[in-house]
């Protein structure tokens, strides 16, 4: 049995299979997931687990070089934006319109659905390299 980090077997397998510049998305309970994209549904109830808790857990195992966030998070969910930036202070942030972020989900290896119930709590993580 895995002792630390991501213990969800589906999520751990996706992370282990990612290479440089591959995308993984994490988001709120209401984000529409495009057909054909693997959805790893961790949502149990409203706010369980939270977006930030899931993101923290993923970052224990995934090297991230860039993130993509919805432009709207700047005005509609400043608290989540601050929390994301605090978790990854040295990671490049690209802001795109929410409509574009939803379209870009089709390019991700998987979408991790949380129980988050706040607006625009969605991110695309671009994997980096550890060497």
What pLDDT sits at residue 63? Answer: 98
Average of per-residue pLDDT values in the chain: 97
What pLDDT sits at residue 22? Answer: 98
4 is a domain residue: no
What domain count does the chain have? 1
Q: Catalytic: 109?
A: no
The rounded distance, in Å, linking the Cα atoms of 84 and 99 is 20
What pLDDT sits at residue 2? Answer: 87
3 is a domain residue: no
Residue 38 belongs to what domain range?
9-127
Q: What is the pTM of this model?
A: 0.97
20 is a domain residue: yes
- Judge whether 57 is annotated as a binding position: no
Residues 88-98: what's their mean pLDDT?
98
**Contact of 46 with 117, CB cutoff 8 Å:** yes
The C-alpha angle with vertex 69 and arms to 107 and 108, in degrees rounded to 5, equals 15
45 is a domain residue: yes
48 is a domain residue: yes
60 is a domain residue: yes
User: For a pLDDT cut of 70, what percent of the chain falls above it?
Assistant: 100
23 is a domain residue: yes
- Judge whether 53 is annotated as a binding position: no
For position 39, which CATH number holds? Answer: 3.40.1650.10
**Contact of 129 with 20, CB cutoff 8 Å:** yes
| pLDDT tens-digit series, residues 5-59 | 999 999 999 999 999 999 999 999 999 999 999 999 999 999 999 999 999 999 9
Residue for token pair 């060497």: 131
Q: Which candidate in 7, 13, 20, 79 is catalytic?
A: 20
For residue 103, pLDDT beyond 90: yes
């Amino acid at each position: 049995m895995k002792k630390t980090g991501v213990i969800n077997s589906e999520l751990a397998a996706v992370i282990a299979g990612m290479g440089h510049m591959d995308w993984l998305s994490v988001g709120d309970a209401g984000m529409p997931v495009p057909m054909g994209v693997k959805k790893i549904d961790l949502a149990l109830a409203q706010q369980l687990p939270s977006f930030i808790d899931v993101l923290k857990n993923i970052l224990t195992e995934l090297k991230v070089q860039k993130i993509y966030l919805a432009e709207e998070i700047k005005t509609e969910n400043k608290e989540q934006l601050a929390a994301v930036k605090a978790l990854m202070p040295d990671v490049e942030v690209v802001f795109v319109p929410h409509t574009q972020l939803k379209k870009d989900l089709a390019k991700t290896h998987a979408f991790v659905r949380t129980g988050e119930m706040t607006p625009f709590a969605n991110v695309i993580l671009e994997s980096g390299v550890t060497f």
